[in-house]
Amino acid sequence: MISNLSNKIQWIQDNPTILKNIKRGIERETIRINLDGQLSYTPHPNFLGSALTHKWITTDFSESSLEFITPSCNNINYILQFLKNTYHFVTQNIINERMWPLSMPPNLPINENLIPIAQYGSSPVGIIKSIYRNGLRNRYGSSMNMISGVHYNFSLPEKFWKIWKQCQNKQYETNYISSGYFHIIRNYHRFGWIIPYLFGSSPTICSNLLKNKKNIKHLKKTKKTGFYAPWSTSLRLSPIGYQNQSNTNLNITFNYLDEYLNTLKYAINTPFPKFVKIGLKNSFGMYNQINTNILQMENEFYTPIRPKRVLKHKESYLEALYQKGIEYIEVRSLDVNPFSPIGISKTEILLLDLFLIWCSLIKSPTMTLTELNITKENWNRIIFEGRKPNQSIIINSTKKNVSLVTISKMIFYDLFKIAEILDKNYKNNDYYNVCKKLIKYFDHPDLTYSSKILNIIIENGIQETGLKLSNQYYNQFKIKKLNPIINKKLFKESFLSIRKQNHLEQ
């Protein structure tokens, strides 16, 4: 058995309100395209304000990319509506552009230097942000950095962690909340492959992203210029997707906060031969990258889930976590949901809530490097061949292969129990219903997002599918007016963000 939930479920049933104030936030990435479905080369639109200082709308790697950010709150419906309002606001104010609805980008220029790097003005912080992105281009190529995802930020109430600490069979130091989040993170690495299985939506890739031609032999051709892996769930998460190969030797096992932070500090201060070869500056004296080390900064460490906290002015990530500990976790393994105009739906949120709570309740022994490698193997199996008949997962404790269907249903058996408690809190059946819906995906993989979008793309092509969906979502929002109060609020934030940037530059 992988679970020992039975001895934990009682203390949640005795204290159901400890799960009542879960906080969540969403970051959704996308790409602006023109009416032909090609990359838009226009600068970040003026009506959206400053990408550097806007609270809710910014850019990611490129001037052509958009990132929508919701506030953090305990109301799922509110954050989804906030994301819809933000998307609606952008839709109302663009005419000859659309927003790409897939994680994997559309056809990009052969010359990657034509993809415009995001610009953030002349303030020191703005310049550093652009140099960092210049480093990403020089290290990994622009095309890879145009891959989009959805990040899900999640935190459990302090009241939960106090009772959680009492129920553990070991002593924790004062920072038990950080220990609790690492407890979740280790289990997410062990079992989080279930998320791309259910919600992965990137089984296809445009040919211009395949820099290593060896990868093509594992793929089949779609219509026109695309490739696909027949049983894949999320090529975005695969080595041919959004990966940083210099990370692979860091061997971070997420056991202790100090260990994690010291490893990141080492990576930020240790030269990496491949990046030293690129050079710090070019022949014109312009920066190629922030430094020539394994990581330019903490953000460059790519992982399916990572610990975070809200940073104060001029506070660094490492400094904040060293001094104050972990405040929330960021799930980074969600593909953009192509069947939702805003890239995510309530289904994913409800399931992630249940799964992350489950990760906090079952045992989470410290992780060895051997187990870390096993977790990577499991993720790769699901990413490349998750829907393959009779697919199996390696269970670390026994080193044996167990049927994906068997182990997934064992997890869902526990999720149903947690759903019952949450539904009583919220006086509805939302969590139970989402479990009932998604458990069918294991016996019927054709119900998964990856299977559905693959069938559409095989029939129509990547470019055609992306353009059709982007037009569909554009028209859906364009035909109805945004609430005037919300519209005014978003325009005001755009105006204020420009003032903030000007102030920083002065």
Give which of 34, 29, 28 is closest to 463, Cα–Cα.
Answer: 34
**For the structural domain made of 6-230+250-505, what CATH number should be given?**
3.30.590.20
Phi/psi for 164 (5° steps) reads -55, -45
DSSP strand pairing (305-308 vs 97-99): unpaired
DSSP secondary structure, 151-218, as one string: EEEEE--HHHHHHHHHHSSS---S-HHHHHHHHHHHHHHHHTTHHHHHH--B-EEEGGG--SGGGGGG
Beta strands, E only, 35-175: 57-58, 65-69, 97-99, 150-155
Given this model, what pLDDT does residue 7 score? 67
Q: Quote the CA–CA distance of 65 and 86 in Å, as a whole number.
A: 15
Stronger pLDDT, 221 or 471, i.e. the higher one: 471
Residue 276 has pLDDT above 70, yes or no: yes
Neighbours of 370 (CB within 10 A): 9
Confidence of residue 214 (pLDDT cuts 50, 70, 90): low
Stronger pLDDT, 17 or 407, i.e. the higher one: 407
Q: Quote the CA–CA distance of 12 and 229 in Å, as a whole number.
A: 42
Given this model, what pLDDT does residue 208 score? 79
Give which of 60, 86, 59, 61 is closest to 71, Cα–Cα.
Answer: 86
Q: How far is Cα of residue 404 from the mean position of the Cα atoms in its chain?
A: 23
CB contact set of 474 (below 8 Å; sequence gap of 6+): 91, 98, 99
Q: Are 240 and 212 in contact (CB under 8 A)?
A: yes
Q: Are 232 and 386 in contact (CB under 8 A)?
A: yes
**307 pairs with which residues across the strands?**
329
Place of tokens 């999640």: 154
- The mean pLDDT of 39-53, rounded to a whole number, is 96
- The mean pLDDT of 416-432, rounded to a whole number, is 94
The DSSP call for residue 390 is: T
List, for residues 354-408, the tens digit of each pLDDT value. 999 999 999 999 999 999 999 999 999 999 999 999 999 998 767 899 999 999 9
Q: Are 115 and 142 in contact (CB under 8 A)?
A: yes
Q: Are 378 and 436 in contact (CB under 8 A)?
A: no
The DSSP call for residue 374 is: H
Q: Which stretches within 325-429 are classed as H helix?
A: 346-361, 369-385, 404-426
Percent of the chain with pLDDT over 90: 81
Q: Quote the CA–CA distance of 341 and 102 in Å, as a whole number.
A: 10
Instruction: Give domain limits for the chain.
Output: 6-230+250-505
Place of tokens 């399916």: 304
The pair of structure tokens assigned to 464 is 């055609």
Given this model, what pLDDT does residue 3 score? 59
- The mean pLDDT of 313-317, rounded to a whole number, is 84
Residue 313 has pLDDT above 80, yes or no: no
List, for residues 251-269, the tens digit of each pLDDT value. 888 999 999 999 999 999 9
Percent of the chain with pLDDT over 70: 94
Q: Are 361 and 6 in contact (CB under 8 A)?
A: no
Phi/psi for 472 (5° steps) reads -60, -45
List, for residues 153-163, the tens digit of each pLDDT value. 999 999 999 88
Place of tokens 């990046």: 275
Q: How far is Cα of residue 36 from the mean position of the Cα atoms in its chain?
A: 28
Given this model, what pLDDT does residue 12 score? 83
Given this model, what pLDDT does residue 170 score? 65
pTM: 0.95
Stronger pLDDT, 242 or 326, i.e. the higher one: 326
**68 pairs with which residues across the strands?**
28, 57
List, for residues 71-111, the tens digit of each pLDDT value. 999 999 999 999 999 999 999 999 899 999 999 999 999 89
Place of tokens 């959004």: 242
Confidence of residue 1 (pLDDT cuts 50, 70, 90): very low
Given this model, what pLDDT does residue 248 score? 61
CB contact set of 104 (below 8 Å; sequence gap of 6+): 147, 202, 204, 205, 206, 209, 235, 236, 241, 462
Give which of 309, 355, 348, 305 is closest to 330, Cα–Cα.
Answer: 305
